[in-house]
Amino acid sequence: MTQTKDILRFTTAGSVDDGKSTLIGRLLYDCKQIPQDQIDLVQRISKRKGLSEIDLSLFTDGLKDERAQGITIDVAYRYFTTENRKFIIADTPGHLQYTRNMVTGASTANAAIILIDARKGVVEQTRRHSFIASLLQIQHLIVCVNKMDLVNNSKEAFEQIVSSFQDFSAKLAIVDVQFIPVSALNGDNIVHRSEKMDWYQGATLLHTLENLSVANEINLIDFRFPVQHPIRVDQGSVQDYRAYAGKIESGIVRVGDEIMVLPGQQLSNIKSIMGMNGPQMEAFAPQSISLELTDELDISRGNLLVKPNNQAEEVRQLSATICWMSSQAYIPGRKYILRHTTNEVKAMLKSVLYVYDMETLVRDEERSELRTNDIARVELQLAGPIYVDAYRKNKATGSFILIDEQSNQTLAVGMIS
């Protein structure tokens, strides 16, 4: 069992009134992943609040201020596991002012759960979440139409929402969308099939999560190995060992393969691969390994190893979609540090082409200033070359962050196209 058990990372966005916390609470509770002492505690609090049933939303309770305000402020990570999968939930707030948190939560996700209140249908927040999911190239969307109990578990109500969602999502770059009618409060179609919605023939939420295929999301074609740091050993039984530590971001590498170092384009061959359990003959993404080469080259942190017949593109200018994360405003002409894989280079924002209006998702070409939570299309000028792929082909070599040199804050995150 353990041999094949894998990890699925998914994100949820929403506010308390959507029933997001209740949905996650229900998922954990019905999967029997909540320890009895926590159940007892939440039961006591629920009683104190005068509720007749346990308030499942309390299981995902957060920081002091969040409890006081009844909202999620930051991304919270939660975990549960079934026989064949470990799940990592990036639980994020859904309001406009937390766009950046949604972006963060979506960055590592294989799937996104979009919650729709059956009484309200597709609303602005639904569109925003879906847009962010497509922007970050999340492969799978699971649309949960929640609170079905409040619309008499009506098939028509569900189908109407499905169709209005499809109207708008056709424009988004999402590979796979599934719709599930649920009631998080009553536990319908979350872990257990609903008896009240016998018209629904599809899978429950848990079954869907357990069976999403994520194998094809790892790019095993384009070998990309950003060097984290050299490892040099010359003591005891290990003489004159010189290797490069890193994580394979994509592709496969074997002992004997010819590789190219970027920048510089020097060629060499793989002499040895040190894996987690000693030397190995081949390695693949996302393994952390150390590579020893047949030649002594000058390689340092930030260099990228590729195959000579499959190189990343050298660029000194970037066209990218960025999300402005900081409360610190964008200052035209100011130089930032651009961090791409393990590499850093100085960069300047040359122009803002347009900013998305996050309420209407329409491009605003008039605006040139950037504020917290803005998602914009920009052009950057770099002080030196970096080696990139388009984000849709390779998330690791297609993404970057912008850091302020003075405050050291991460100001913006970007996707290269």
Partner 1 sequence: MSYRLNYLEELEAEAVFVLREAFAQFEHPCILFSGGKDSIVVTHLAAKAFAPGPIPFSLLHIDTGHNFPETIQFRDELTARLNVRLVVGKVEDSIQRQTVQEESGPNANRNRAQSITLLESMESNGFDAAIGGGRRDEEKARAKERFFSHRDAFGQWDPKNQGPEIWHLYNGRKNQGEQFRVFPISNWTELDVWEYILKENIALPSLYFAHHRPCVRRKESILAQSPYLISHASDQLTDLNIRFRTIGDMTISGAMESSASTVAEIIAELKEMNQSERGNRADDFRSESSMEDRKKEGYF
For partner 1, the closer CB: 91 or 117: 91
Residues 222, 308: Cα–Cα separation, whole Å: 11
For partner 1, the closer CB: 356 or 400: 400
For partner 1, the closer CB: 216 or 309: 216
Read off φ and ψ for residue 370, nearest 5 degrees: -120, 135
For partner 1, the closer CB: 193 or 271: 271
For partner 1, the closer CB: 301 or 350: 301
Tell me the two tokens of residue 234.
Answer: 């010359």
Q: Which residues bind partner 1 (CB under 8 A)?
A: 2-7, 35-38, 61-65, 73-79, 81, 85-86, 88, 100-101, 103-104, 107-108, 215, 218, 220, 228-229, 231-233, 238, 241, 245-247, 252, 274, 276, 282, 284, 286-288, 290, 301, 325, 337, 339, 342, 395-396, 399-401, 403, 408-410, 413
Question: Whole-number minimum distance, CB 399 to partner 1, in Å?
Answer: 5
For partner 1, the closer CB: 122 or 412: 412
Question: Whole-number minimum distance, CB 171 to partner 1, in Å?
Answer: 25
Question: Whole-number minimum distance, CB 338 to partner 1, in Å?
Answer: 10
- Side-chain-side CA neighbours of 316 within 13 Å: the count stands at 4
For partner 1, the closer CB: 242 or 363: 242
Question: Whole-number minimum distance, CB 32 to partner 1, in Å?
Answer: 8
For partner 1, the closer CB: 11 or 169: 11
Residues 132, 33: Cα–Cα separation, whole Å: 29
For partner 1, the closer CB: 104 or 321: 104
